[in-house]
Amino acid sequence: MSDAKKVAIISAIFLGIPVAAICDSASPANETTGSPAAPIVPKPRIIQNPRFKERPDGADVERFYPPGARRKGISGRVTVQCAVAIDGRPTNCGVVSEEPLGEGFGAAATALAKTFKLLPKNAQGVPNTGGVFEFSLQFRPAGH
């Protein structure tokens, strides 16, 4: 790969431009193996200080509480990461961490994520669409 192309790719990553616009499918072969070079996939932009139009309340958390964990009186903590669709709704949510495992807290928090709706821009005025946000949620049985 030429130095000019390396600089163009690094610049694209820094500026948030899709690298696919620079690295087409006819990318040069890997110098070691002779196979086509793997495309570079930029990391998603993490939304700092998201602002919400809608967010879950205590009743929503209670509604999504895993039934088995509730019966056993088990608390849980989950962190979920979601992409933000153009309408501000979370999409492609996944569990980043979950404690304890196997009690359904990750699935519950992922389902609960659908109750969020982000405003078009974060607190600094940066558009949310195309970025990802994380939220952490503590599930506690009633009376604890």
What is residue 12's predicted lDDT score, i.e. its pLDDT? 46
Strand, helix or coil at 52? Answer: strand
Alpha helices in the chain (DSSP H): 3-15, 58-64, 67-72, 105-112
What is residue 9's predicted lDDT score, i.e. its pLDDT? 55
Q: Are 8 and 37 part of one and the same domain?
A: yes
Asked whether residue 144 is assigned to any structural domain, the reply reads no
| In contact, 132 and 78? CB cutoff 8 Å | no
Q: Are 133 and 62 part of one and the same domain?
A: yes
Predicted TM-score of the model (pTM)? 0.67
CATH number at residue 134: 3.30.2420.10
Q: Are 81 and 28 part of one and the same domain?
A: no
Asked whether residue 56 is assigned to any structural domain, the reply reads yes
Domain residues for the domain of 13 are 1-43
Q: Are 78 and 124 part of one and the same domain?
A: yes
Q: Are 58 and 116 part of one and the same domain?
A: yes
Q: Are 131 and 64 part of one and the same domain?
A: yes
Q: Are 61 and 33 part of one and the same domain?
A: no
d(CA 44, CA 16): 9
d(CA 7, CA 95): 35
pLDDT of the chain along its 144 residues, tens only? Answer: 665 555 455 544 544 455 454 454 444 555 556 667 777 767 788 888 888 999 999 999 999 999 999 999 999 999 999 999 989 999 999 999 999 999 999 999 999 999 999 998 888 888 888 889 999 999 998 875
CB atoms within 10 A of CB 65: 20
